[in-house]
Amino acid sequence: MNSFLILLPFLGVVVLNLPFFKAFMRKIAFGCCALILVTQALSVVYPQACTFSNNFNIFGSFLEFNFTIDGLSNVMLFCIAVVLFVALIVEDYIIRDKERFFNFANMLLLLLAGMNGVVMVRDIFSLYVFIEITAICSFVLIGFNKDVYGFEGAFKYIILSVAASVLMLSAIALLLMSVGDTGFLPLKAALKGSPDHVFLSFAIGLFLCACFIKSGLMPFHGWLPDTYSRAPAAVGILLAGIVTKTVGVYALIRIAGVVFYFDNSIKYILLMVGILSVVAAALAALGQHDFRRMLAYSSISQVGYIILGLASGTALGVTGAVLHLFNHAMFKSLLFVNATAVELETGTNDMTKLSGLAEKMPFTGITSVLASLSCAGVPPLSGFWSKLMIIAALWISGAHGYAIAAALASILTLAYFLILQRRVFFGRLSGDFPDLKEAGFGLVFAETMLAAIIVVTGLAFPFVAGDFISLLSNILGG
């Protein structure tokens, strides 16, 4: 049953907070979360375990959620499970206080339930409800360390998140008043039948702006660099790896691809926002000295590629967008784990103070190279295939200038990652860190797992490309 993926995290929270055996519950918090996340990943690998579409009623008939899993949902559910598992490992490695880790584990399970709900619902109001659950959990996690930097990042996040929520809820209200329904398919039918309806067009504009803010796309990115770079290490992995992809990018793919009438005006808006994010954020990344802040701007640029793939309006482009979303979740999570390892071992993220770390941190150095090359689209790693599909889709759809700009922007991506590698991992080893050593087993395990996914996906994709396209063939068709 699909609702099981919502109920299981909530059940985990209930079990962990039973008033009996409190000390024991704190000891098993890691194992409980890990078991739930592994179960979710396996349910995607073996889809026969979650093929039923069912209604799960809360408060009788007052509120009804319809949870359905399709190809896009499966990709997202797997990404969510993997990235949250990595964040869990990192936080367990960093936090030695069992009470603090217990609190983190509870918030992680609530975040899991919220994101699972986002990717499985099939009406726009339920989508909004689960986006808000995810946003609230993210806000708490950003300020989890209770320091001034975390509070600053949390404050910026919640202010712009609230603005996006107001826009989204206003769009839903207009759609409900105009159509009388919030289901994806009834909305799509109404929008196709009245493409020039002023209220519907205004609602589409509001919803797109809300998704742009949630995704951190330019020029709506004001909250993202500070939040990614100031949040606790494990939370930065969550935000960059999957949270903004779920509440912003996934919502945009699902609603723009399935619900909104995909006309030229929407394509033009997506093309403009996408190419601005790709190029401007890549240029901004070139000027950064902080490891995590450079990765934050890189995230904006890579999400821009996803939006360009969606903007092509073709099955090839949307498939490339979804593949790049998956790739980005993997390689950007890996890079944030690398940044965490560097910060823990050296005490700084300032790249001007670092040099030659790969000599003492070989696993971190090698995996960071793999993630950087994949992000830049170097074959045969996974990022190459998704970027190739996106650029090819733009060219085929007639957006030749955007295709050329997207291809050239990959050179900028390679440039700032070469700068990062030269400053941090290569060159002469700095004498400022005489006791430097490789990160502990937990971080090395997370780095190795993500690097393996990147390499295997890149090598295997040419053989499974047809199956992957078939899996996602229904996105544009609704």
pLDDT at 60 over 50: no
pLDDT tens-digit profile of 159-176? 888 999 999 999 988 888
What pLDDT is attached to residue 79? 94
CA atoms of 304 and 299, how far apart (whole Å): 9
pTM: 0.91
Predicted pLDDT of residue 259: 76
Where does the pLDDT of residue 295 fall: very low under 50, low under 70, confident under 90, or very high at 90 and above? very high
What is the Cα–Cα distance from 294 to 302, expressed in whole angstroms? 12
User: Worst-scoring range by mean pLDDT, 68-77, 129-138, 395-404, 424-433?
Assistant: 424-433
- Whether residue 51 has pLDDT greater than 50: no
More confident residue, 313 or 322: 322
Q: Are 311 and 377 in contact (CB under 8 A)?
A: no
Distance CA 165, CA 185 (A): 22
Would you say residue 85 lies in a domain?
no
Does residue 356 come out as left (phi exceeding 0), alpha (psi in the -120 to 50 range) or beta? Answer: left
CA–CA dist 376, 258 (Å, integer): 30
Residue 416 counted as domain residue:
yes
Secondary structure (3-state) at 66: strand
Asked whether residue 400 is domain-assigned, the answer is yes
pLDDT at 72: 87
C-beta separation of 144 from 235 below 8 A? yes
* Structural domain for 380, as ranges: 275-478
pLDDT: is 59 or 95 the higher one? 95
Confidence (pLDDT) at 64: 53
pLDDT tens digits for range 269-289: 899 999 999 999 999 999 888
> Taking phi first (over 0 means left), then psi (-120 to 50 degrees means alpha), and beta for anything else, what does residue 180 get?
left
Helix (H) or strand (E) holding 40: helix 29-45
Does position 58 have pLDDT exceeding 80, yes or no? no
CB contact at 8 A, 370 and 455: yes
Q: Which two tokens stand for residue 85?
A: 């598992």
Domains of the chain: total: 1
Tens of pLDDT along 316-345? 888 899 999 999 999 999 999 999 999 988
Note whether residue 5 is domain-resident: no
CA 296 to chain centre: 12
Across 101-125, average pLDDT? 91
What is the helix (H) or strand (E) element at residue 393, kind and residue range?
A: helix 382-396
Instruction: Establish if 227 belongs to a structural domain.
Output: no
Stretch 24-39: mean pLDDT: 88
Tens of pLDDT, residue by residue over 379-435, are 889 999 999 999 999 999 888 999 999 999 999 999 999 999 988 888 788 777 778
pLDDT of residue 412: 92
Q: Is 440 helix (H, G, I), strand (E, B) or coil?
A: coil
Computed over every residue of the chain, the mean pLDDT equals 86
Q: Evaluate whether residue 459 is within a structural domain.
A: yes
Confidence of residue 374 (pLDDT cuts 50, 70, 90): very high
Maximum average pLDDT range among 151-160, 252-261, 395-404:
395-404
Q: Is residue 39 assigned to a domain?
A: no
